[in-house]
Amino acid sequence: MKFAVIDIGTNTSRLAVFEVPPGDGFSLVFEKNYITRLGEGVNVSGRLSGAAVERTLEALREFSECCGDLGVSRTAAVGTAVLRRAENGASFLDRARSLGIDVEVITGEEEGLLVFRGACSGLKTAHEKILTIDIGGGSTELVRGGMNRPEACVSHEIGSVAATERFLHDDPPSARSIEELKIHSTEIFRKTAGEWAWGGDHLCIGVAGTISTLAMIDLELPEYDPARVHGHRLGLDNVRRLADALLGMKAERRREIPGIQPKRADIIHAGSAILLALMEAFGIGAILVSECDIRYGLLQREISRAGR
């Protein structure tokens, strides 16, 4: 039986199709990702732009066709920060439904818990203390807990697209704007670390495009190689080095760096700054990069709902 999951984010729209045989286990058989930037301008206008909607619907139209061609039996689609925030999100949902895709807009907490569930599914050994970090285009979710036992979740409205539009207007960004982003991010994450009485002895797992891209740059990968990205250890010193370098470059130069998708070059510097502020605020020395993200958590949820 084939299950399809669709994640519609502020920056990226992603499809993953899994083969789920009777009994335990599953395997990824197909995936397709597009940077559709649905959240373009939402931080300023509060509304989805016509161009962003059309880009995303075109991706969903292709996803629907792929699911039909692959014989998918069950499809689940979720929308995250951008659809939580946009005033005209309901209109987008109606148009997506006309394509045969019923998009569920999930809360920040639901998003974080799905990420936590997905990240746990990608671990080879169980861990008693886990922190998952998901830096998206419009929000950042943090969840801590034991193996498959989330204990606390928080969703902050800070992401790579939103931070770029709010703070980093120049190319390259000015020292003042970089400092403003750093102060803003640090205050947010220090508050959470304080509320959680953070001890720093957790396995820290990072997912999603910003962190995967930084791992690719760190590994000097010219092309996406999930087998090498998954499980890569990204240390604080390297994150600091990468953030400093990316923030000091023009977008044109960032597009030339192996590992950075051209359409992500205009926001990856903001994402790196957010990750650096987070790691420093929590005192995290390194994160484990995982490709088992919200898609895998959503798959686990759908398998349970199907009674498998």
Q: Which ranges of 122-256 would DSSP assign to H, the alpha helix?
A: 160-166, 175-195, 209-219, 226-229, 236-247, 251-254
Residues of the chain with CATH 3.30.420.150: 124-289
Strand ranges, E, within the chain: 2-8, 12-19, 27-35, 74-79, 103-105, 130-135, 140-146, 149-156, 203-207, 233-235, 286-289
Q: Smallest Cα–Cα separation from 41: which of 76, 86, 77?
A: 86
73-111 per-position pLDDT tens digit:
999 999 999 999 999 999 999 999 999 999 999 999 999
Q: What's the pLDDT at 308?
A: 66
Query: What confidence tens digit (pLDDT) does each residue in 190-221 have?
Result: 999 999 988 878 999 999 999 999 999 999 99
Answer CATH for 2-105 from 3.40.50.740, 3.40.50.150, 3.30.420.40, 3.10.450.350: 3.30.420.40
- In the numeric block, which tokens belong to residue 92? 């987008």
Write down the pTM of the prediction: 0.93
Whether residue 307 is predicted with pLDDT greater than 90 in this model: the reply is no
Cβ–Cβ under 8 Å, residues 133 and 103: no
C-alpha 118/C-alpha 132 separation (Å) is 10
CATH number of 124-289: 3.30.420.150
The structure tokens listed for 88 are: 């005209």
Mean pLDDT (whole number) for 219-246: 94
Q: Residues 37-71: pLDDT tens digits?
A: 999 999 889 999 999 999 999 999 999 999 999 99
Mean pLDDT along residues 269-295: 97
Where exactly does CATH 3.30.420.40 map onto the chain? 2-105
